[in-house]
A and B are shown apart, each in its own frame.
Chain A
Amino acid sequence: MFNIFDLKKNYGKTEVLKSITMRIDDGEVICIIGPSGSGKSTFLRCLNLLEEPTGGQIYYNGTILDNKLDSKRLRREVGMVFQKFNLFPMFTVLKNVMYAPMHVKHTARKDAEEIARNLLEKVGLADKADSYPSQLSGGQQQRVAIARALAMQPKMLLFDEPTSALDPELVSEVLTVMKNLRKDGMSMVVVTHEMGFARDVSDRVVFMDKGYIVEEGLPAEIFNHPKQERTQQFLNRVLGGVSYE
């Protein structure tokens, strides 16, 4: 789906992404791991043009993304889930999920509602349809946010640290929903600090540091036999010496 060549992103003189080259295939689940400030989130945000790259090329299904006009079409096909959920606070859960199909795709209200209710069922929140976001726990809000992104029937979902803002006991309910998406064949790119999820669920793990991809490979390779010293150091630190062998 994506072919990325020598992607760069600067903020003024700060180089956040120095050179990223990778490809993302249909149906793939990729986890991006790495220390804070390594550019993971910025890279993810470049994929749906929330950030405008300052260098390099991104090809989406063979077409180069080089202007703002492409972004609306792209975003219909590539959804995003944010760390802080970013639900619309003034609407009920149901309306949050219906809103984009109704206004962006001009889906009829009845059809949009049906899609929304099915998706809420899928993320286990059918009974919360009439609640407001502020009445839900963080885990529930994030599941609504996933349903909202799915309502646009995207081909791929980008997750920007979807569980980082959650209390520990709420993390698993969100990860369960994501695992179910994987079973349905959804393509996903997940920036995460959940090493267990990265190891168990992804097809490929990408380790980023200081604006570069240091190493990428099958989860088993990265977690058990990292080739690069920096990957080793990072994993030792976050896993606290726990081996996954």
Chain B
Amino acid sequence: MHLDLLFIQKFAPMYAKAAVITVQLACTGIVMAILTGLLVSIVRYRKIPVLSQLFFAYVQLFRNTPLLVQLFFLYFGLPKLGIHISGPACAIAGLTLLGGSYMAEAFRAGLSSVSKSQIEAAEALGFSHMQIMRYVIVPQALAVSIPPLCANVIFLIKETSVFSVVALSDLVYVAKDLIGLYYKTDEALLLLVISYLIILLPVSLLASLLERRIRYAGFGNTGIV
């Protein structure tokens, strides 16, 4: 195999630009997914009637359909119902909805790990329901939720690779474009792989660091919790 280094040199900046777009969309989508997940999991945890069932249906719908199909629906389906959404908005909405359903499950695992005796202790001290949620349950639940949350973040960043279907000039779009124009398949794909690695490796590293900190600093526990 002979790589055209000149090609790589020439088009690397295009990838960098696309990477910035990918990261921006991913970050926005992930932050919104986390907020959505928190809201959904708390509503489900508190068993708020109607909303709780509605959110359950939402989680099942989005956890069990691929992002690609969800984007098709948002980008090509909704306009038929008279709702027009731009490409970037579709991408963020898709990532938020998909991510929200995954994050909700991660938070639910954390919430249900907090024992009833903790809640009683807080009640007996005069905390209100909202305060118990905020000051007692959520901090403990987060510790349990961090590992699945990190896994979800990495998963969601990888899912951005389908954004090109809604006409966004993300990394995959650039690679496909260059292949179409110059037939430099090897070089274009190599740049694509490297771009994703540059984005994801630091995230993975950060995630494992965070997990280890939680596990070992674990509230004074010396061993594995």
Please give the residue numbers on chain A whose beta carbons come within 8 Å of chain B beta carbons, in ascending order.
48, 50, 71-72, 75-76, 79-80, 82, 84, 86-91, 99-100, 103-104, 131-135, 148-149, 152
Contact = CB atoms under 8 A, between A and B. Distances in A.
A150 to B, nearest CB: 11
Interface of B: 117-118, 120-128, 131, 135-136, 139-140, 143, 219-221
B121 A88 contact: yes
A50 B124 contact: yes
A134 B220 contact: yes
Contact of A76 (B117, B126, B140): B126
A82 B120 contact: yes
Given A84-B117, A89-B140, A72 B126 contact: yes
24 contacts: A50-B120, A50-B123, A72-B126, A75-B125, A75-B126, A79-B124, A80-B124, A82-B117, A82-B121, A89-B219, A90-B139, A90-B140, A90-B219, A100-B122, A100-B127, A103-B127, A104-B126, A104-B131, A131-B220, A134-B220, A134-B221, A148-B125, A149-B124, A152-B125
Overall SS of chain B's interface: helix
Pick the most buried of B118, B123, B127, B220: most chain A CB atoms within 10 A of its CB.
Answer: B220
Nearest to B131: A103
B147 to A, nearest CB: 16
Given A88-B136, A89-B219, A134-B221, A72 B118 contact: no
A100 B126 contact: yes
Contacts, number: 64
Given A50-B123, A82-B124, A134-B219, 7 more contacts: A48-B124, A50-B120, A75-B123, A100-B125, A104-B125, A134-B220, A134-B221
Contacts of B220: 131-135
Nearest to B119: A86
Contacts of A131: 220
A86 B117 contact: yes
B124 A75 contact: yes
B130 to A, nearest CB: 11
Contact of B127 (A50, A79, A104): A104
B139 A79 contact: no
Pick the most buried of A72, A76, A80, A88: most chain B CB atoms within 10 A of its CB.
Answer: A88
A215 B220 CA distance: 46
Contacts of A88: 118, 121, 136, 140
Contacts of A99: 125, 135
Contacts of A152: 125-126
Given A88-B121, A90-B219, A72 B139 contact: no
A135 B222 CA distance: 9
Contact of B135 (A71, A87, A103, A148): A103
Given A88-B118, A99-B135, A103-B131, A79 B219 contact: no
Pick the most buried of B121, B125, B136: most chain A CB atoms within 10 A of its CB.
Answer: B125
A84 B115 CA distance: 12
A132 B222 CA distance: 11
A82 B118 CA distance: 11
B151 to A, nearest CB: 22
Nearest to B220: A132
Contacts of B143: 90
A51 to B, nearest CB: 10
Contacts of A103: 127, 131, 135
A48 B128 CA distance: 14
A104 B139 CA distance: 17
A18 to B, nearest CB: 24
B115 to A, nearest CB: 8
Pick the most buried of A80, A82, A84, A89: most chain B CB atoms within 10 A of its CB.
Answer: A89
B118 A86 contact: yes
A162 B32 CA distance: 45
B45 to A, nearest CB: 18
Contact of A79 (B117, B122, B125): B125
Contacts of A91: 219
Contacts of A79: 124-125
A72 B127 CA distance: 7
Contacts of B117: 82, 84, 86
Contacts of B124: 48, 50, 75, 79-80, 82, 149
B137 to A, nearest CB: 11
A83 to B, nearest CB: 9
